[in-house]
Amino acid sequence: MRNRGSTSFFLFLCYNSDMPNLTKQQAKNRIKKLTAEINKFRYLYHVLDKPDITDEVYDSLMKELRGLEERFPNLESSESPTQRIGGKPLDKFRKVKHQVRQWSFDDIFDFEELKKWEEKIKKLNHKLQITNYKLDYCCELKIDGLKIILTYKKGKLVQGATRGDGITGEDVTQNIKTIYSIPLKLNYPVDCIVVGECWMSKSELERINSARKEKKEIPFANSRNAAAGSIRQLDPKIAASRKLDSFIYDIDFLKISNFKFPTSKQTQNSKSQIHTPLTQTEELELLKKLGFKVNPKYKFCKNIQEIEKYYQNWTQKKDNEDYGIDGVAIKVNSVKIQKTLGYTGKSPRWGIAYKFPAEKVITIVEDIKVQVGRTGALTPVAYLRPVKVAGSTVSRATLHNEDEIKRLKVRIGDTVVIQKAGDVIPEVVEVLKKLRTGEEKIWRMPKKCPICGGPVKKERINNKKNKSQNLSAATYCINPKCFAVEKEKIIHFVSKKGFNISGLGKKIIEQLINESLIFNPAEIFELRKGDLEPLERFGEKSANNLQKAIEESKKIELSKFLFALGIRYVGEETALLVAKAINKEFQISNLKFQIKDLGDIIKYFPQIKAEDWTKIKGIGEKAAESLHKWFNDKNNIELLKKMNVFGVKIIIPKLQITNYKLQGMSFVLTGELKNWTREEAKDMIRKRGGHVSFSVSRQTDYVVAGKNPGLKYDKAKKLGVKIIAEADFLKII
């Protein structure tokens, strides 16, 4: 630690822990004091950046503590500072399901997009009748690192996980413990789940890359890659050696069962008390109070003009910090409004990521080729002279479609400006026409599919905003048997987010199609060992392994199944929304049914109209129309029938009924509940056989009213429906 502490202080703290007459009680007291002091110094150095002692003093304290714990092993505890680095290297990381779904923000890149986002929120506020709550914002620096989710029970760290796909992540608890800015024990014994960013400083990246170069190892491209690679080290000692850091910015779950809930006035007068935050800025303050490291650069903004000023300010000085910043995270400050606005299929409605201008570089377009995707879309791709941008080497960039090529007037041989949109997808943004030599070649979209030779055309679309533009920007291969389309569909079908068939990669799929063994995804389940063994790259063992993997994949969750089908506009998030909506008795219009297996999907889904699909919260018009169209295509239904015959089983997780205490009762929830989230309360009702309704009617048995109830409360009073407080609800369940 950088500061030089006093020698007298050091001598006062340290005495000979090897004293033969040291009793167990004396050791226990000493361990307790040492732990408290070490944690205090850790907090000062790694969280507040205010070192109070030297590294030598800190190391001596740690040495004494280790000595005592070795001598009295029964006194060693899980939150001891000595437990941060240890444990045997893992064979692999364990998958863990997140208790709270993890989302990612949508991106915007300019002030006009920011204005549109706010307008959308204001319209939703009006539609959802959000009153008496001022719309203001909390702006935080968007750290360029790896998202981490930390779970604490009674104030003790029990799990650290990566985001993964938002539903399931990886358990990296041992590596999380090596990050000194993350407390093993909080200042209060609360149950909570917090979210933050694990990052590596630029100076640490430079140190690591210098060492890697000396060993002739490939250096990390950027600090984000280095942080992600470090947190996923199977050996925690390697993770510890890389000196990772953290900023925590959100509380996903909080239970303060051991504390009273004081008013704001009481809170101001008593620093020892904590309460559930009502705003994002209060949430950040609470995180600091619990003992987490919070980025201090956040700012409360009254309006989007103040947001823009904050954004422009950090655009200029972002490189001055020792950590990577790739934008500003903007959140509606009111937690009440956040909860009411909720989420789309992909991201929160109440937050947005205002990304900094992407890094731009110049290179040469050496060729333009076409890729054919699973929807049949022909996408022109620029093959570039390799160039480094945003920390990685780029040799290809998307040109999106023919209209984009015409707009840019890009030619083969042109000098172009490329950037990573959102620091992810490389794209060509400008052509430097003055650098042309006259040898550049004009490129035109092929009249036939470059893969199958079939006809191509643009689709007719219903453009409500511009009726004169009734053709799609993309060009599509319309041959239903196109090799490229079928191959991409099957690749998508067997991917990790779909059927997850291990051993069935792109080359094997291409080989199986070439050998006429499969023509569509359903025929995968018909493959036998005898079909595979004669093929190149296959032997008895590999054929057995693949057949086993195919057999094991036949049992699949509904959401993964829907994703695997490759329905246009139905990605992972939309598939989850559909699965969640029909995870109980499902009623749309006059159609009432329950999905139990693939046969029910074949029977009922074609009967659902596009407008009915939109009644599932989060599903838009395009996805709804696509779902309706897909399930009303005879060829697709035949595909599902084949899968059914071949033994594909749909897993629909059933709600576990613990008792039938509330059977036949109908509940409506309104206002802010103190002890649970709205979803947790609904789950409790359903697990006891009750029914949760969105609206109040004469058939409603109880309206459970929390703090600040809405119009449902007024309607219940008007209809004479019984209204109960949260305490009364506790007695019923």
Residue positions annotated with a catalytic role: 142
Cα–Cα distance measured from residue 499 to residue 489, given in angstroms and rounded to the nearest whole number:
12
Contact 154, 209 (CB under 8 A): no
Nearest-angstrom CA–CA distance, 190 and 183: 13
469: CB partners within 8 A, 6+ apart: 463
Closest to 232 measured CA to CA, from 244, 222, 221? 244
Q: What tokens appear for 150 in the block?
A: 């930390």
Rounded Cα–Cα distance for residues 475 and 378 (Å): 6
CA–CA dist 156, 200 (Å, integer): 25
**Can you tell me the distance from the alpha carbon of 567 to that of 574, in angstroms, rounded to the nearest whole number?**
10
Q: Which residue type sits at 645?
A: V
- Tokens representing 592 are 């009432």
- 403 CB-near residues (< 8 Å, 6+ apart): 473
d(CA 428, CA 53): 52
Give the contacts of 255 (CB within 8 A, at least 6 positions apart). 190, 191, 192, 675
Tell me if 354 sits within 8 A of 307, measured CB to CB: yes
State how far the Cα of 45 lies from the Cα of 82, in Å rounded to an integer. Answer: 17
The SS3 of residue 353 is strand
Please report, for residues 127, 605, 696, the alpha-carbon distance to residue 716 in angstroms, rounded to integers and kept in the order given: 20, 35, 6
Report angle CA 174, 176, 179 to the nearest 5 degrees.
120
Q: Residue 45 half-sphere exposure, CB side, CA atoms within 13 Å?
A: 19
CA distance 418 to 428: 4
The label of the residue with tokens 């914002």 reads: 137
Burial class from Cβ neighbours inside 10 Å (0-12, 13-18, 19+) for residue 642 reads middle
70 Cβ contact partners less than 8 Å away, ≥ 6 residues apart: none
The alpha carbon torsion through 497, 503, 508, 510 (nearest 10 deg) reads: -10
Can you spell out the DSSP letters for 11-23? HHH---TT-TT--
Angle between helices 55-71 and 24-42 (to 10 degrees): 150
CA 724, 728, 732, 733 torsion: positive or negative?
A: positive
Q: Which of 608, 596, 686 is nearest to 644 (CA)?
A: 596
Helix (H) / strand (E) element for 722: namely: strand 722-725
Length of the chain: 733
- CB of 680 closer than 8 Å to CB of 729: no
Quick check: 354 and 453 in contact, CB under 8 A?
Answer: no
Tell me the three-class secondary structure of 186-241, residue by residue: CCCCCEEEEEEEEECCHHHHHHHHHHHHHCCCCCCCCHHHHHHHHHCCCCHHHHHH
Q: Residue 684: CA atoms inside 13 Å, Cβ hemisphere, count?
A: 16
In angstroms, the Cα distances linking 657 to 47, 100, 559 are: 45, 21, 22
Q: Which helix (H) or strand (E) holds 472?
A: strand 471-477
